[in-house]
Amino acid sequence: MKVLIQDVAVITANRKNEVLSHADVVITNDKISYVGPTKAWQAEFNEVIDGRGKLVTPGFVNAHGHAAMSLLRSYADDMPLMQWLEKRIWPVEARLQPEDVYWGTLLAIAEMLKGGTTTFTDMYFYMDQVARAAARAGIRAVLSRGLVGVGNEAKSGLQENKEFVRQWHGRADGRITTMLGPHAPYTCPPAYLREVLAVQAELEVPLHIHLAETMDETDQIMAEYGVSPTKLLLEAGVLDCPVLAAHCVHLSAEDMDILQEKHVHVAHNPGSNLKLGSGIAPVPELLSRGITVGLGTDSAASNNNLDMLEEMRLAALLHKGSRMDPTLITAEEAVAMATRESAAAVFLPDVGSIEEGKKADLLLWDLRQPHLTPKHNLVAHLVYAAQPSDIKMVMVNGTIVCRNGRLTLMDEDEIIFEAEQRARRLVGIA
């Protein structure tokens, strides 16, 4: 399969943050085989796309979320995190069935693909159902079974995660990769974390964990162990593994130095952190230390959408406003956080930028819009002005999965119907 996008503008999101005009992009099977000046091609192509008036960017990489929680969108709003979890979310999740997770995940994937997300990172239950949904939908996925180290499912959950890694890592033409998912320091005591580490040593996959999301969490860990959540993970040996840490809102300078020294990757979730009143992560300080910071949406139950464009814009604006410094988190940095750096954060070296040899996970945008005119700075337009409706094509692994706003591999009406019925049952609506 060979596709040519001809005479198009390109935001490469490569290390040089290059922006190209009048470029050609060639996709051969699942990879980008050429990106450079437009030229007269003699080769045969399965499809030639006129790129005039359009823009190619990498697909967005959602570095943290819980996809099936889309079934709980707007079910529990305007509440602090622990009350939100204990009073509303966990009681409903106790009623989840495997097929609920399958259809809830498909609902999330449909939303994500239409909004330009080509990779999502997920921690939840019944992960075989999440993997089934990702395989069917054509999206790239980084998946871990959420682990709680207290209660009846502590050991069985870890065994499930172990079996899941063995069954699904590298499946679906390499689109599915896996992690181990200890939920958080406040739900996974050090003794349990050491059990997780023993499995990690055997499987050699990264860990995905919530870290320092709220002040309550920080206070609880300090009261119980006399250290910060970050230092607790350090002392337990967790940070000696490859780690993706979600949120990282309440960090001291010492905590950030630890994350830097241990090469911990961070998933910044500005929308969810704001809505739950959790605070604002110290992203400028993390970036100044050279820490890899990607962007995530968290779940639609706490956000309430999975719009990576919105997260990218929030990441750029939030720190400017809260610090009263308009130079913080430039448009270039925001694009990188949503693409190249998010891919690095979830340990995917072959996606996140438009470069030869990278996987063909890309978006085609229509620039002929009032809100994208005049075209002084395409990177600034993408961060501060673009809308999901501007996306005309979404490609994952060289396959077009969305064209002109319509999914090509899934029945959107079926997904919406199934998700609605299951959501109503879960919350007790006949």
Q: Can you name the residues that pair with 24 across neighbouring β-strands?
A: 36
Q: Which of 326, 352, 335, 339 is nearest to 386 (CA)?
A: 335
Q: What is the pLDDT of residue 385?
A: 98
pLDDT-derived band of residue 262, with 50, 70 and 90 as boundaries?
very high
Q: How many CB atoms lie under 10 A from the CB of residue 169? A: 16
Please check the confidence at residue 388 and state whether its pLDDT lies above 60: yes
Give the tokens for residue 125.
Answer: 């239950």
Please tell me what DSSP assigns to residue 87.
I
Predicted TM-score (pTM) of this structure = 0.97
Contact 175, 213 (CB under 8 A): no
Please tell me what DSSP assigns to residue 8.
E
pLDDT tens per residue across span 50-95: 999 999 999 999 999 999 999 999 888 888 878 888 888 888 888 8
Instruction: For the chain, list the domains and their CATH numbers.
Output: 2-58+353-407 (2.30.40.10), 60-345 (3.20.20.140)
Contact 178, 164 (CB under 8 A): yes
Q: What's the average model confidence in pLDDT over 279-304? A: 97
Q: What's the average model confidence in pLDDT over 197-215? A: 98
Alpha-carbon torsion (76, 81, 83, 87), positive or negative: positive
Q: What is the pLDDT of residue 84?
A: 80
Contact 132, 102 (CB under 8 A): yes
pLDDT tens per residue across span 17-62: 999 999 999 999 999 999 999 999 998 999 999 999 999 999 999 9
Q: What is the pLDDT of residue 319?
A: 95
Contact 175, 141 (CB under 8 A): yes
Amino acid at 337: M
Please check the confidence at residue 430 and state whether its pLDDT lies above 90: no
pLDDT tens per residue across span 104-124: 999 999 999 999 999 999 999
Q: Are strands 391-396 and 399-403 parallel, antiparallel or unpaired?
A: antiparallel
Q: What is the pLDDT of residue 81?
A: 76
Q: State CA 63 to chain mean position distance.
A: 3
Contact 236, 227 (CB under 8 A): no
3-state secondary structure 267-329: EECHHHHHHCCCCCCCHHHHHHCCCCEEECCCCCCCCCCCCHHHHHHHHHHHHHHHHCCCCCC
Residues 299, 237: Cα–Cα separation, whole Å: 28
Residues 164, 86: Cα–Cα separation, whole Å: 27
Please check the confidence at residue 182 and state whether its pLDDT lies above 90: yes
Q: State CA 277 to chain mean position distance.
A: 21
Q: Which of 161, 184, 281, 282 is nearest to 236 (CA)?
A: 184
Residues 103, 115: Cα–Cα separation, whole Å: 18
* Torsional class of 311: left (φ above 0), alpha (ψ -120 to 50), beta (otherwise): alpha
Q: Which of 113, 132, 6 is nearest to 396 (CA)?
A: 113
3-state class (DSSP) for residue 177 = strand
pLDDT-derived band of residue 232, with 50, 70 and 90 as boundaries?
very high
3-state secondary structure 127-151: HHHHHHHHHHHCCEEEEEEEECCCC
Q: What is the pLDDT of residue 152?
A: 87
Please tell me what DSSP assigns to residue 373.
-
* Residue 240: C-alpha distances to residues 174, 197, 230, 350 (Å): 26, 10, 12, 24
Dihedral over alpha carbons 36, 39, 44, 45 (to 10 degrees) = 50
User: DSSP secondary structure string, 225-250?
Assistant: HSS-HHHHHHHHTGGGS-EEEEE--S
Contact 353, 328 (CB under 8 A): no
Give the tokens for residue 42.
Answer: 């003699």
Q: What is the pLDDT of residue 138?
A: 98
Residues 292, 260: Cα–Cα separation, whole Å: 9
Contact 217, 185 (CB under 8 A): yes
pLDDT-derived band of residue 162, with 50, 70 and 90 as boundaries?
very high
Amino acid at 320: K
Residues 14, 3: Cα–Cα separation, whole Å: 21
Q: Which of 284, 285, 346 is nearest to 316 (CA)?
A: 284
Contact 246, 210 (CB under 8 A): yes
Q: What's the average model confidence in pLDDT over 254-283? A: 97
Please check the confidence at residue 428 and state whether its pLDDT lies above 90: no
Q: What is the pLDDT of residue 87?
A: 85
Q: How many CB atoms lie under 10 A from the CB of residue 52? A: 11
